[in-house]
């Protein structure tokens, strides 16, 4: 029942359904990052800033970008899908990553909004090349056009978790995520030992 309602909403109001779902899932990725990082207090302002960037730019951009790609390279043949993937990863991915880093920095009022971008963009884009081509391949081959932005939003949920981690704690590489996770586990163990020794 719920799936049928969502499918009908996506058909009747494709822009609104796709962009809203994309933005909510992207912001959800920030919440997951904060939960994984075991923060004492949720930073709702950061989640709001991520949601603003996701809804105002990324969701809208992807909605129109995916339609433009389909108009220019229609169909699901190997050649057409390859062209879509090549353009998506060489143009859209760097643009979306850049807007994320600079947009969130701008909304936070950072003096140098390009600082995170300069330090992390290239590593983040390279890391994205290990994830997005596969997700977009599935998107271009399996999903109808009216659902592609929503599908990207589902994929972006995981990606946003990584981006938010990278922006706050990492350097844009998958390796920094692993090192941070190990450090968080060690911190948790040390905290547990210290608290139990004082009981």
Cα torsion for 140, 146, 151, 156, to the nearest 10°?
Answer: 100
Identify which of 30, 177, 50, 153 has the alpha carbon closest to the alpha carbon of residue 101. 50
How confident is residue 194, by pLDDT bands cut at 50, 70 and 90? very low
Give the pair of three-digit tokens for residue 80: 């057409």
Q: Are 161 and 32 in contact (CB under 8 A)?
A: yes
Cα 87-118-48 angle, rounded to 5 deg: 80
* Residue 178: predicted pLDDT: 57
**Dihedral sign computed on CA atoms, order 178, 181, 183, 189:** negative
Task: Determine the Cα–Cα distance for residues 30 and 158; give it in Å rounded to an integer.
Answer: 9
How confident is residue 182, by pLDDT bands cut at 50, 70 and 90? very low
Which pTM value belongs to this model? 0.82
Give the pair of three-digit tokens for residue 27: 């912001």
pLDDT in tens, 23-67: 999 999 999 988 888 777 889 999 999 999 999 999 999 999 999
Q: Are 81 and 140 in contact (CB under 8 A)?
A: yes
Span 148-164, average pLDDT = 91
Least confident of 29-38, 90-99, 153-162: 29-38
How confident is residue 11, by pLDDT bands cut at 50, 70 and 90? confident
Q: What is the mean pLDDT of the chain?
A: 86
Span 180-197, average pLDDT = 46
So where are the chain's domains? 2-173
Task: Determine the Cα–Cα distance for residues 14 and 43; give it in Å rounded to an integer.
Answer: 31
Encode burial over 133-156: b for 16+ CB neighbours within 10 A, e otherwise: eebbeebbeeeeebbbbbbbbebb
Q: Which burial class, exposed, middle or buried, applies to 17 when counting CB atoms under 10 A from its CB (0-12, 13-18, 19+)?
A: buried
Q: What percent of the chain has pLDDT over 70?
A: 85
Cα torsion for 146, 152, 155, 160, to the nearest 10°?
Answer: -140
Q: Is 90 exceeded by the pLDDT of residue 175?
A: no
């Amino acid at each position: 029942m719920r799936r049928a309602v969502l499918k009908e909403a996506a058909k009747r109001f494709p822009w609104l359904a796709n962009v809203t779902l994309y933005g909510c899932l992207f912001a959800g990725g920030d919440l997951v990052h904060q939960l994984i990082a075991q923060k004492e207090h949720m930073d709702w302002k950061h989640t709001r800033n991520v949601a603003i960037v996701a809804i105002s730019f990324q969701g809208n951009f992807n909605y129109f970008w995916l339609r433009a790609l389909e108009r220019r390279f229609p169909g699901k043949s190997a050649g057409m899908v390859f062209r879509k993937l090549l353009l998506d990863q060489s143009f859209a991915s760097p643009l979306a990553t850049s807007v994320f880093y600079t947009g969130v920095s701008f909304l936070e009022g950072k003096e140098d909004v390009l600082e995170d971008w300069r330090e992390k963009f290239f590593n983040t884009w390279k890391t994205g090349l290990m994830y997005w081509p596969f997700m977009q391949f599935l998107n271009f081959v399996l999903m109808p056009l009216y659902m592609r932005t929503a599908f990207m939003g589902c994929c972006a949920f995981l990606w946003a978790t990584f981006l938010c981690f990278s922006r706050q704690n990492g350097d844009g590489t998958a390796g920094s995520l692993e090192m941070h996770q190990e450090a968080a586990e060690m911190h948790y163990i040390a905290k547990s030992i210290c608290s139990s020794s004082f009981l």
